[in-house]
Amino acid sequence: MAKDNKKLVEAITSMDEDFAQWYTDVVKKAELIDYSSVKGCMIIKPAGYAIWENIQKELDRRFKETGVENVYMPMFIPESLLEKEKDHVEGFAPEVAWVTHGGLNPLQERLCVRPTSETLFCDFYKNIIQSYRDLPKVYNQWCSVVRWEKETRPFLRSREFLWQEGHTAHATAEEAEERTVQMLNLYADFCEEVLAMPVIRGRKTEKEKFAGAEATYTIEALMHDGKALQSGTSHNFGDGFAKAFGIQYTDKDNKLQYVHQTSWGMTTRLIGAIIMVHGDDSGLVLPPRIAPVQAMVIPIQQHKEGVLEKAQEVCEALGKVCRAKLDDSDKSPGWKFSEQEMRGIPVRIELGPKDIEAGKCVVVRRDTREKLEISLDELTEKLPVVLETIQKEMFERAKAHRDAHIWDAHNYDELKDIAANKPGFIRGMWCEDQACEDKIKEELAVTSRCMPFSDQEQIASTCVCCGKPAHKLVYWGKAY
């Protein structure tokens, strides 16, 4: 047995016992990542990168349907350029990596490795936008960015991570707002439809918004341990960056106007979300639509005549209706089952001599472990249905779990009690005074996650913190 397999059968830490350790065990044992000799940077292994490729493919397709075009900007930002927008530089300068030497010579001006590319896009837009005919610009790039974090965790917070960053420029404030919301909704739909992960769509408070933005919209998902994960953000910059960088266009009346801008991004952190929403004590559980391998065919007694051939035949036929793979290694079926479970492959197909004789196979769902006997004649017809059922039920279970962990707090005592004892989202009214937000964060260690779009019912008329009149409903929570 290879060394990795030995490790595999040792029980991973139970999630109820130590969720953080369970998470670390899963990312390692499902072979999603490895640590590197660069502190805080991870190696994304084939099983992890294939998930990211599927995320990219599907998001990119959805982007392009809305008119997004891809570009590539330099990875370096001159210090003077980063400094052009005041809030932005204050937000990012403390956590960037600085290049000071090129080859054997010191640079005249130091360059930071992009933590995000607003400033580069602004510099670019300033040069290519002259007339209203040049608008809108709806550009996106897939790249890696660097933020010099002190505490890191695989996928969730690392010094380098992969993402996409969209940057747009529009003639009017209305159009920019529309694009900001459109992309947030695109993200939310993607999470729900493809990752089977329910999200709450809302707006960040002033305190929590992006450095330099007028408004930040967010989708917030609930992890299995009751902590929130910010899973995608979309920012409306208004004309703040345009004024700082001088991005103007001539309108139809030949007047100079500032453009209105947005940016929006999603990252490899989504892989962390998938793990923490769907995983269990046997490892990863992947929603079929994002799984690199959807069905693993595992022959039983594969040394017996005809078994491997039949398994190959079944796998090939399945390859036409889903992403199927055959495990014909010389490991025992038991090992193979554990591996398939650890890696979160949505179904395995067990096929032995008796099954072949009976013209059937056993399909085992990863999510529920339910066993289905399916006739080999009907397999290519029925398996896609099974996969869609899994996808749908995984979303429903995640949503039921999320909904069962949303608590209402009407006053500070309730808030305090829930924050201490009930993991999940806390709904509470807020007076819009940052002092209350600060106090809640400091005393109860929960932060405002968002002011939801769809759920602005008044669950009380007073602030959950200070008791003064309040009109905004906020989702509070502990966050990754």
Residue 280 or 327: the one with the smaller Cβ distance to a second copy is 327
**In the bound complex, what is the minimum distance in angstroms from residue 83's beta carbon to a second copy?**
13
Q: Which tokens hold the place of 97?
A: 């990596």
For residues 24 and 389, which CB has a smaller minimum distance to a second copy in the complex?
A: 24
Closest separation between CB of residue 46 and a second copy, Å?
Answer: 4
Task: Please give the Cα distance from 300 to 353 (Å, whole number).
Answer: 7
CB of 162 to a second copy, least distance (A): 6
| Region label for 318, one of left (φ > 0), alpha (ψ between -120 and 50) or beta (otherwise) | alpha
Taking the complex as a whole, how short is the minimal distance between the CB of residue 129 and a second copy, in angstroms? 10
Q: How far apart are CA 144 and CA 345, in angstroms?
A: 27
Least separation in angstroms between residue 134's CB and a second copy is 6
Place of tokens 């408004």: 215
Q: Which two tokens stand for residue 238?
A: 């208004």
Which residue number, 71 or 400, has a Cβ lying nearer to a second copy?
71
Helix (H, G, I), strand (E, B) or coil at 378: helix
Shortest distance (Å) from residue 41 CB to a second copy: 4
User: 49 or 453: whose CB is closer to a second copy?
Assistant: 49
CB of 55 vs a second copy, minimal distance in Å: 13
3-state secondary structure 170-188: ECCHHHHHHHHHHHHHHHH
- Our CB check for a second copy shows the closer of 130 and 375 to be 130
User: Strand runs (DSSP E) across 329-437, as ranges?
Assistant: 347-351, 360-365, 371-375, 406-408, 425-430
| β-strands 33-35, 42-44 pairing | antiparallel
Rounding to the nearest 10 degrees, give the CA dihedral for residues 65, 68, 70, 71.
Answer: 170
* Short-list 211, 261, 208, CA closest to 230: 208
Q: How far is the CB of 151 from a second copy (least distance, A)?
A: 13
Shortest Cβ 317–a second copy spacing (Å): 20
Query: Residue 422: CB partners within 8 Å, gap ≥ 6?
Result: 226, 405, 407
Which amino acid, one-letter code, is at 379? Answer: L
Cβ proximity to a second copy: between 106 and 385 the closer is: 106
Give the CB-side neighbour count of residue 452, counting CA atoms within 13 A.
19
3-state SS class at 256: strand
Q: Report yes or no: 110 and 79 within 8 Å, Cβ to Cβ.
A: yes
Write out the residues near a second copy by the rule CB under 8 A: 2-3, 34, 36-38, 41-46, 49-50, 52-53, 69-78, 81, 94-104, 111, 113, 120, 123-124, 127-128, 130-131, 133-134, 139, 143-144, 146, 148, 159-160, 162
User: Of 110, 270, 256, 132, which Cα lies nearest the Cα of 190?
Assistant: 270
Q: Is 165 helix (H, G, I), strand (E, B) or coil?
A: strand
The least CB distance from residue 87 to a second copy, in Å, is: 18
Nearer to a second copy, 23 or 52 (CB): 52
Residue 162: both structure tokens together = 């992969």
Query: From the CB of 308, what's the least distance to a second copy, in Å?
Result: 19
- Per the structure block, which two tokens stand in for 439? 């106090």
* 161 bridge partner residues: 145
Q: Which is nearer to a second copy, 327 or 367 (CB)?
A: 327
* Residue closer to a second copy (CB basis): 71 or 420: 71
Nearer to a second copy, 142 or 453 (CB): 142
Distance, CA of 55 to CA of 469 (rounded, Å): 43
By beta-carbon proximity to a second copy, the closer residue of 135 and 184 is 135
Token code pair at residue 79: 């210090």
Residue 142 pairs in a beta bridge with 164
